Structure 1
Amino acid sequence: KLAALDSDHRKLKKSHAALEDEAVLLRRQLSDAKNSGSANVVLLTKDHEKQMKSSEKARKRELSEVREMVKARDGTIAELQERARGYVEEVANLEEELNRARSERDAK
C-alpha cells in the first residue's frame, strides 16, 4: 500500500507541476494580451485623436467658408444699399426738377 501511495503521490506532484507550468503560461499569455490590448487601446486612442483633429480642421474650414460667404453677402448688401440710396437721391432730384418745370409752366 505504501508503494502505491508513494506512486500516487509522485503522479500528483507531476500533475501539480504541469498545472503550475500551465498557470505560468496562462499568466504570461494574459500579460501579453493585456500589453497588446494596451497597445491596441493606444492605437485606437491615437486614431480617435487623429479623427477628432481632422473633424476639428474640417469644422474650422467650414466655419471659415461660412464667414467668407457672410462677408461676401454683407458686401453685396452694402453695395445694393448704396445703389438704392443713389436711386432714391436720383428720384428725389427728378421729382424736384419735375416740380420746378411744372411751376415754370404754371407761371407762364
Structure 2
Amino acid sequence: MAIGLNVQEPEGTCSDDTCPFHGTLSVRGQVIEGAVASTAMEKTVVVEREYDVFVPKYDRYMKRRSRVPAHAPECFDIEEGDAVRIAETRPLSKTKSHVVVEIIDGGEA
C-alpha cells in the first residue's frame, strides 16, 4: 500500500492500527532522518539528530541536537543506533506526532 512517500514497505506484517503501511494512519508534513537514541518505551523510539547553528558573536558554529519521539510500528525491527526516516502524522499522544516509515541503515548513523 502506498503511503505517499518514496520509501520501501517493510517485509514484516503487523496488526497495528497506527501503522502507515498496515493500518489507517496517514502521513503528512515533514520527513526527518536521524539516529535512534532510545528504544526503552513500548511502541515508541526517540530519534535524535544533530545540526550546526551559526553564532555570529563568535563567528563559529555550535552543535545542537533535537530529540523527537516517534511511533514504532510492530513490522519494523528497530534497535538503538539505527538510522531511520520518520514522517509527521496526526498527534498520537501528548508528545508523539511522528511515525517511523523506513530504516535507512542498521548501523551507527
The TM-score with structure 1 as length reference comes to 0.14
Q: Return the structure number with greater helix share.
A: 1
More strand by share: 2
Higher alpha-carbon Rg: 1
Q: Which of structures 1 and 2 has the larger relative contact order (alpha carbons within 8 angstroms, sep 6+)?
A: 2
TM-score computed with the length of structure 2 as normaliser: 0.14
